[in-house]
Chains A and B, each alone.
Chain A
């Protein structure tokens, strides 16, 4: 029943586990596809550009972060696609899932530490609240 699975990832341990759940969900339904979304936080652009000042491509570093999950999806022979979006993570994921008629969103519960979560609010909660489809938060 879940044909279009959106996997929101940031390369953290939680999002790797979320990847496993996405894969097993995709394997349940024939013809389903995982859309893995990695959101580049605008606030991090400055840090990322500075940190990659002399390296050829800033995009490579980001792809490195999601390589693990990508690898797992390849091994499991599920159909998938990787998208890199730009913006504030919560709203960007919500916006993307609502506009693209996603059947389910899978997201790791936290990439932030307790203090950051207190200040910034949890991305997964924001997504769960505002997405128009079922949301699976992986702990």
Chain B
């Protein structure tokens, strides 16, 4: 797929980008507020983040048309950090996350994303959806039955309105309607104002107020590593989705670096770490957004709305935001994976489910991803470590045909497959269909030969392929003399 030139990525779709930018800005507000509340910080932290990330990424991102901002995946990771150490440490962690992401981009590590198996990616997405959903349940605690009605109404508007009317995002209409109802009917439910303050000011540049020492670093380091991993994972997945939707290519390393720069700037301007957003990016592309202008404009318009409408935003009931978040969770979940679960190889399905369960239990997407990768690797090794040995007798020679991959995990089993005590003079080890991968393999073959020789047999090794013989020579093994 071809990439746009930098100039084209700005100016080739001005009208479409401006319009979709407005739509995205409207859809960003409820999510930015809701994700801040998940993380336990003031709504402004998420709103500032969505503003600065969207604006910065417009200039330095690698995937035009993709929308980044404050996300649930990231917010879920730093709940504990905020609860134990406060906002300033979150800002420092955000900056450090950015540094890691820049390094990832500079060293062009995006090509290693392929080492994350499909089932882990699916597990990641599903776990994220479940976490977003469960994080909303707190809003139902201690409320009357009215909150169920309001959430149901929000969801009904979100899902049904698009059949009649598509110009304004239905999430925004739902929030306006539900907010209006609670204000005019004087329904006493918790609002955004109860969760924190909205200040109608632009973000300002500040150094995080933390002691600059090793203790601080040790506190934020694990969080930043997890944030960088999850942020890049979601960003590169989203980039691939936007690539597919627009049928254009993108540079994943530039995007990783861009995410890093955006997070550093965000940390200094009092915003929380963010990444690309699948839902918003899909909305952007579907609304006609293709270029960098759409991201820039969505950020600017978002800030403008907050400055102008800050007083109304605090009156949005949490019920409406919970409704929006439930919708985000439903659309994030990969429902197809449930439908096709029984078709998958057992191990793939198992990896997916374990990834999801790990995240749900640890509340940490990064741990889930690592568990999933590790488990897949173990399954792969155990699958590939099956070695077949067939033996035939040709006159006075016992021929063993070995078939499979010989490496650390497969050699112990191999040793037991020979009859060293057989009454025979010549033994041939045919390795034509085997591959020696490491020193354990070479050592194992060596040991087999020794064992036969100890029992007074002459051993001949045949059919060693080129790679394997090279390895053998390199390890300066006795094998060569046979």
Residues of A near any B CB (own CB < 8 A)? 40, 42-43, 45-54, 58, 84, 86, 88
Q: Residue of B at shortest CB range from A55?
A: B118
Whole-angstrom CA separation of A54 from B114 in the bound complex: 6
Residues B117 and A40 in contact, CB atoms below 8 Å apart: no
Chain A residues near B122 (CB-CB < 8 A) = 50
Q: Residue of B at shortest CB range from A121?
A: B163
Query: B241 contacts the other chain (Cβ, under 8 Å)?
Result: yes
| Besides the known contacts A45-B241, A88-B286, 19 further A-B residue pairs in the complex with CB atoms under 8 A apart | A40-B244, A40-B245, A42-B285, A45-B245, A45-B282, A46-B278, A46-B282, A46-B334, A49-B237, A49-B241, A50-B237, A50-B334, A50-B337, A53-B121, A54-B114, A54-B117, A84-B247, A86-B244, A86-B246
Q: Residue of A at shortest CB range from B278?
A: A46
Query: B362 contacts the other chain (Cβ, under 8 Å)?
Result: no
Candidates B118, B245, B285; contact of A50 at CB < 8 Å: B118
Q: Is the interface of A mostly helix, strand, loop or mixed?
A: helix
Whole-angstrom CA separation of A54 from B247 in the bound complex: 18
Chain A residues near B114 (CB-CB < 8 A) = 54
Query: B14 contacts the other chain (Cβ, under 8 Å)?
Result: no
Candidates B116, B286, B336; contact of A47 at CB < 8 Å: B336
Query: B125 contacts the other chain (Cβ, under 8 Å)?
Result: yes
- 7 nearest A-B pairs in the assembled complex, by CB-CB distance: A53-B118, A45-B244, A45-B245, A47-B336, A49-B240, A49-B241, A53-B121
Chain A residues near B278 (CB-CB < 8 A) = 46
Chain B residues near A52 (CB-CB < 8 A) = 118
Number of A-B contacts (CB under 8 A): 47
* CB within 8 Å for A42 and B245 given contacts A49-B237, A50-B334, A51-B336: yes
Interface centre among A40, A47, A49 (most CB of B within 10 A): A49
Contact string against A for B residues 119-135, beta-carbon threshold 8 Å, 1 for contact and 0 otherwise: 00110010000000000
Whole-angstrom CA separation of A48 from B246 in the bound complex: 14
- Closest beta carbon of chain B to A45's beta carbon, Å: 5
Chain B residues near A51 (CB-CB < 8 A) = 118, 336
Chain B residues near A84 (CB-CB < 8 A) = 247
Residues B118 and A86 in contact, CB atoms below 8 Å apart: no
Q: List 7 A-B contacts (CB under 8 A).
A: A45-B282, A48-B244, A49-B237, A49-B244, A50-B118, A50-B121, A50-B122
Chain B residues near A54 (CB-CB < 8 A) = 114, 117-118
Residues A58 and B244 in contact, CB atoms below 8 Å apart: yes
Contact string against A for B residues 239-255, beta-carbon threshold 8 Å, 1 for contact and 0 otherwise: 01100111100000000
